[in-house]
Structure 1
């Protein structure tokens, strides 16, 4: 009778953060071979989530068959001055053997502070008996700082509350996030606008020329006008995710944007980094019915935004893409700003924007200013919520990594 390798146990916490879910690990709890980047770490996380799965369901893992639920996080106590915890995010593909480390997850960023406290990574002297704990996070994927304001009650993270977040069924405690210096404004626009232009033109074979705002804020994002794609901006997931031809066209556009942003050297390389850049399309406000049945009125929002993640229209809005929306909306002349009315004018940034997404609405604020002819964004703020769903140990066959 053949002998098969046993399973090992690894401590983990399964958390919801914003409109996403992920498996959180302490770095020191991982098997030694997975404590550093490389094939062993990727193989471990793929097996934990249940990928690659040709059925697209991740039945044999903790993933749930969507980009929002196929995520892994590794936390460690930070040795970086001014920070409490290092946060590394892996977007695990569902049907491919790919873990994309090229960007952050803004939704799960809301869970990092609470999880770090649960894991004992934060000095207990910094956790008051009640009030708010300010957790300083180093986002290791992109080299940026995030500040999380975590509510505390009786010396523990407060997870229940009355903060409602569209895309999440139940209310919870509010976690306010600040994304510090989310875009680097270098010479000629630098990393914020990789081409140094507010609006570019993408020439996509089979589609033609499309106006696009290419921005690196929160996460590299390609913004398009919904009208140019034949959309209204009120679409829900079913209108796009069931259309293989549309998804292929949108992926071709994303690849062209990645090439123009300098993120890849050849169009074919886009398949190796499906997490970035994001692709989103915008439109002026309009009435629509959200996926929950909630009626969204045009007068209650500034614009419409629909975004794709890992090749599918997202059910709500990725947190990092929301950062990009806030920054682009603040800067006069971008497609996002123009869809929102563009009325702020030269030299005046829009301080906040409320946009409609498939599950409802979200408000995000950006502190932006025109300095010596260049736009600088010092902070983007939004609120999410987070909750521990399960904690204990995951089991993984030892011969998988």
Structure 2
């Protein structure tokens, strides 16, 4: 019954051959990771378990963020299944349970080869594996309950599971129908008008979650672009003094913030932009929520690169905190500028897979952010010797964001059609 229901919801066509092939790939990749760590990197092999755990959690979180909105909220086949005598808790537990099994498999594939190189401390390795899997399941709960994510992050694991259970029992069906039709559905199958708490957030969330090219394929391309771009910037700007501390980290984070495809295509990829001119929608508030959505998705990539820089470069706790503040503030500043440019330069791309999709705004944002960073490095190395580069960059980026917020507050005519 469960297998039939799963196929009816997702039209899953996984066969034994596909499952075995994916398992072989996972075993090979897990062995390759520990082979590289054991033969090409210095230090004890057990010291890299934290790195592998971070990698496993990121992969599991990537799978959860990809699958949960697609399978539970934007899946139109669930509307047909709800006509049958099926409880919402059984439906959600089926999807979440399959996802948890998949994430457990990812964790096992990531750590199995560790037992080949280090058998002395197998209990600690198993404990780390369990913690990684539990952390992945908690991230799934946060993705499943997005409007209460701050509260869910504070609650303990047991309380989080209990809240999610009651949410499934009482509100999943209504939330799903609200996402599909902007309306709630009573128990007697009669539709009634409803009041959406934040329609701007919902409209933008649906736009981003339904464009998988923006979330995944463009972000993968952006990650590779950031790595290549950071190397070119460090090599080509040696005349301003790249020997200054944290120069490479600043270039890495500012490049990561500038190449945000979601913010640079926020209006051009919106299928509802043709209706915004005559609907009772505040373009001023719509701009704000589009900026917040781009900031949220961009912050995931910023945190990824920040964790890599803090882990591999041995940065102190205070400097790592300042670097995180810099990346977060620059992320908002670059997202705001990207959304503003796309709003002022409307265009109609034929497809989100175009080669130049969003590149016009991204190039302008990248040029502006790199110019600002180069100016900060030049000022601290050639003119001012009393303040560190990282502290000065945090102050300048905060001032830029403050100017953008003041412009949004007091120049409302610029955001009207």
Band of TM-score, shorter chain = under 0.3
- Bigger share in helix: 2
Look at both structures and tell me which one has the larger radius of gyration over its CA atoms. 2
Q: TM-score, normalised on structure 2?
A: 0.24
Higher relative contact order (CA 8 A, sep 6+): 1
- Bigger share in strand: 1
